[in-house]
């Protein structure tokens, strides 16, 4: 099983599937279909049925039940796109067998050293798949895809393992927050689902941020600086004034755990117009609403000072804490913990400081916790994954479907 997940990850990683936040299409990049078509053919070759790939890049398939028991239909999901934070073109994965715990040399003189990446020490003696230093790896979430595919193949080849109906979905655009936007929950037809999209061994997540995006636009008047007194209105300084009112400690670089933040992501402007893009994140819904209200209040105060047209603050909710929808059906989390215990995996139950497709899917009527897929140092040239962790994730999938059938 270990060699299967390695082979699949390496093969999938070499296919460029980066999504594009600036695109209005679904999927945001047509190259995501390059991997989706490969997966569609592979699902058919494995023996899954009811395989559909729609024009928006949602690939569904079924492994039919082989039990007479009434078992909930389970879904397993992973996303095909990789982040645009770092290049995903011409990915050349490197394999390191029996990792010795020392620094790993990549191309161009880059070194991935345990002194800087202490998480490497957790993988001594294991097989690591790394980048070559020129690109990201794409284990987020091609490791999850490899694990789901390998688990489905194993179940087909071992029909003595009893399970209910299983639905598989490979989806686009998770990295830009749009993964579930055109996901047909009714067509998918699962009672519960799991995203295989977490990090290190043992991660199990059923709480996420509440999230909103904010676009602040300031508008000024440009006059020649030599004759600008009492005439010029500088939109840049107005934008800085807005930012200076934001909390100084509720920012990503100063928060962790359940602490929320207001994060300035982009600033672009001139005297006539300046735009700023923010994200608001908080696990607590009340604190989330307070942050939104505070930003709107600061905008209103600047309108009173400079004029109603001088500044606009547009706030749009993106997703909500999936814990609100999963807590009423916590048995789906408990079953994962039970599966972990069979393989002596210690659950790492922490809130996601971000979102997964499960955040939105849970609010669309499909409760969807998130399980580890193995990736570390994701979204950059130091990304790596342990083959042993991927193998464990595959085994967990197989155990989960058995546990549901045995109840």
Q: Which domains does the chain have, with CATH numbers?
A: 1-207+321-406 (3.40.630.10), 215-319 (3.30.70.360)
How sure is the predictor about 352, in pLDDT bands with cuts at 50, 70 and 90? confident
Percentage of residues in the chain having pLDDT higher than 70: 100
| Catalytic option among 16, 174, 207, 282 | 174
pLDDT of 94? 96
pLDDT of 354? 73
**H-helix or E-strand spanning residue 141:** helix 139-157
Report DSSP state, residue 175: G
Spatial distance between the Cα atoms of 111 and 104, rounded to a whole number of angstroms: 6
- Over residues 235-262, mean pLDDT: 96
Q: What average pLDDT does the chain have?
A: 95
Strand-pair category, 74-79 with 166-171: parallel
- Binding-site residues, in ranges, read 79, 140, 175, 197, 379
Catalytic, 174? Answer yes
| Catalytic option among 16, 42, 81, 173 | 81
Q: Which of 334, 365, 360, 364 is nearest to 347 (CA)?
A: 334
- Over residues 36-48, mean pLDDT: 98
Q: Which of 401, 400, 402, 392 is nearest to 127 (CA)?
A: 392
Q: Is 167 strand, coil or helix?
A: strand
- Over residues 182-195, mean pLDDT: 97
CA angle 152, 157, 162 (to 5 degrees): 75
How sure is the predictor about 295, in pLDDT bands with cuts at 50, 70 and 90? very high
Q: What is the dihedral of CA 140, 143, 146, 149, to 10 degrees?
A: -70
Q: What is the dihedral of CA 103, 348, 85, 100, to 10 degrees?
A: 10
Catalytic, 68? Answer no
- Structure tokens belonging to residue 56: 């928006």
- Binding-site residues for Zn(2+), in ranges, read 79, 140, 175, 197, 379
């Amino acid at each position: 099983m270990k060699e299967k997940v390695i082979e699949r990850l390496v093969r999938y990683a070499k296919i460029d599937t980066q999504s594009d936040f600036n695109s209005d299409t679904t999927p945001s990049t047509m190259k995501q279909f390059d991997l989706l078509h490969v997966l569609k053919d592979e699902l058919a070759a494995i023996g899954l049925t009811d395989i559909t790939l729609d024009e928006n890049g949602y690939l569904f398939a079924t492994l039919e039940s082989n039990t007479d028991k009434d078992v909930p239909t389970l879904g397993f999901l992973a996303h095909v796109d990789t982040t645009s934070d770092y290049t995903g073109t011409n990915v050349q994965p490197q394999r390191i067998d029996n990792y010795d715990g020392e620094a790993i040399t990549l191309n161009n003189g880059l070194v991935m050293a345990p002194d800087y990446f202490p998480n490497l020490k957790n993988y001594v003696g294991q097989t690591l798949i790394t980048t070559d230093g020129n690109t990201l790896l794409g284990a987020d979430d091609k490791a999850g895809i490899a694990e789901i595919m390998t688990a489905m193949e194993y179940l087909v080849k071992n029909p003595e393992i009893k399970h209910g109906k299983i639905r598989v979905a490979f989806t686009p655009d998770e990295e830009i927050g749009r993964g579930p936007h055109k996901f047909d929950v009714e067509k998918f037809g699962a009672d519960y689902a799991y995203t295989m999209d977490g990090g290190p061994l043992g991660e199990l997540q059923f709480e996420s941020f509440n999230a909103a995006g904010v676009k602040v636009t300031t508008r000024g008047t440009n006059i020649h600086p030599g004759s600008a007194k009492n005439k010029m209105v500088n939109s840049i300084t107005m934008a800085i004034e807005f930012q200076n009112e934001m909390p100084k400690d509720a920012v990503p670089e100063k928060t962790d755990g359940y602490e929320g933040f207001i994060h300035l992501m982009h600033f672009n402007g001139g005297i006539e117009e300046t735009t700023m893009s923010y994200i608001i994140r908080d696990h607590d819904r009340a604190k989330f609403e307070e942050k939104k209200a505070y930003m709107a209040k600061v905008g209103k105060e600047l309108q009173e000072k400079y004029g109603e047209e001088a500044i606009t603050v547009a706030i749009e909710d993106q997703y909500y804490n999936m814990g609100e929808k999963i807590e009423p059906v916590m048995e789906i989390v408990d079953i994962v913990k039970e599966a972990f215990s069979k393989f002596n995996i210690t659950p790492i139950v922490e809130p996601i400081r971000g979102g997964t497709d499960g955040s939105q899917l849970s609010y669309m009527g499909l409760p969807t916790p998130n399980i580890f897929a193995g990736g570390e140092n994701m979204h950059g040239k130091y990304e790596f994954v342990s083959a042993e962790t991927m193998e464990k994730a595959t085994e967990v999938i197989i155990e989960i479907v058995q546990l549901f059938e045995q109840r």
